[in-house]
Amino acid sequence: MSTAIQSRLDQFRQQRRVQAGSLIISVFGDAILPRGGRIWLGSLIRLLEPLELNERLVRTSVFRLVKEEWLRTETCGRRADYVLTSSGRRRFEEAARHIYASHAPLWDRRWRLILVVGELDSKVREQVKRALFWQGFGALGADCFVHPSAELSSVLDALIAEGLSAALGALLPLFAADSRSALSASDADLVRRSWDLGGLAEAYSAFVAVYQPMLADLQSNQAAEVSEQDAFLLRTLLIHDYRRLLLRDPELPEVLLPTDWPGQQARLLCKGLYKRLEGPSNRHLDKALCLADGTVPAEDATLGERFPQYDPLNR
């Protein structure tokens, strides 16, 4: 096996503290959602055991995800499947659109604004702020949130799903004036004022430094003997690490980003490595992922290809 791959797996196993719930969310979104969004707990425990997540930690983390309404249980005899709730599925599907995109979003040169024009108590205001940051919005002062390409209707739906429907009356969503001219100094200044991209750029560069040697090894056949199980484990860590970066990323169109932005390099690297791991990791899932009734769910081909080829004429 590639030294770089072995090093990454060992590094994860040697961590003293693991956010198992976050990793399980990544596994559900990447491996379980395409196979029906359900799994028997014993099967999930076996899938994660090679990463040295013990049974007690997995059980505790899954129970917490049930409490947080990501998952629910469905009994089958003396066993039970853990199934994505409708809100959990919505959040996973929304995340998937960002994780597996093959290109940065395009820009119609219209800024989306959400203004706080009504009274909100401090607790609700902070909840709205966090929810909008989750959607990639930047802040211009305390009462103006901005994004270049968000779908405002989807953003408002997300606020409702987060239990903030009562706050909508205090918010004014609108489009700034459409400008078809070249990128202006005011656009660049708005980006600098609304988002701190320096730390994110460093994180993307660190991601590239970790995973680029693995792709190079696979391309040169130095890691031809990587097992199906290790392919699944590495695919899980790859998507988990990339997903955590995207949680911090407003996903600005390329025209608004600094020159040589490492996020695009990370996107292409993630796609290239994922494609190399996809076949053997899926064969592992065919053997190891099962439901409470003992059946093995097949992957749903209608969900579409992960990291599809980008066709600028058919976007």
- The total of other beta-carbon atoms located within 10 Å of residue 99's CB is 21
How far is the CA of 122 from the CAs of 119, 145, 162, 189, in angstroms? 9, 16, 17, 29
Helix (H, G, I), strand (E, B) or coil at 214: helix
Contacts of 13 (CB under 8 A, 6+ apart): 51, 52
Contact 207, 266 (CB under 8 A): yes
Residue-level pLDDT at 313: 35
Question: Cα(20)–Cα(276) distance, rounded to whole angstroms?
Answer: 25
Residue type, 162: E
The secondary element (H helix, E strand) that includes residue 53 is: none
Contact 26, 236 (CB under 8 A): yes
Residue 90 identity: R
Chain centre to alpha carbon of residue 141: 28
Q: Which helix (H) or strand (E) holds 277?
A: helix 262-288
Rounded Cα–Cα distance for residues 11 and 172 (Å): 47
Query: Residue 73 corresponds to which amino acid?
Result: T
Sheet architecture: strand order including 71-76: 38-40, 79-84, 71-76
Q: To 10 degrees, the CA torsion angle through 66, 71, 74, 78?
A: -50
Residues 6 or more apart whose Cβ sits within 8 Å of residue 18:
12, 53, 57
Taken in order of first residue, the domains within the chain and their CATH numbers are 112-178 (3.30.70)
The two tokens of residue 37 are: 């969004």
Per-residue confidence (pLDDT) for residue 303, from 0 to 100: 64
CB 140 within 8 A of CB 112: no
Which residue positions in the chain have pLDDT lower than 70?
1, 102, 177-185, 222-224, 301-305, 308-315
Phi, psi of 38 (to 5 degrees): -145, 150
Q: What whole-number distance in Å separates Cα of residue 150 and Cα of residue 148?
A: 6
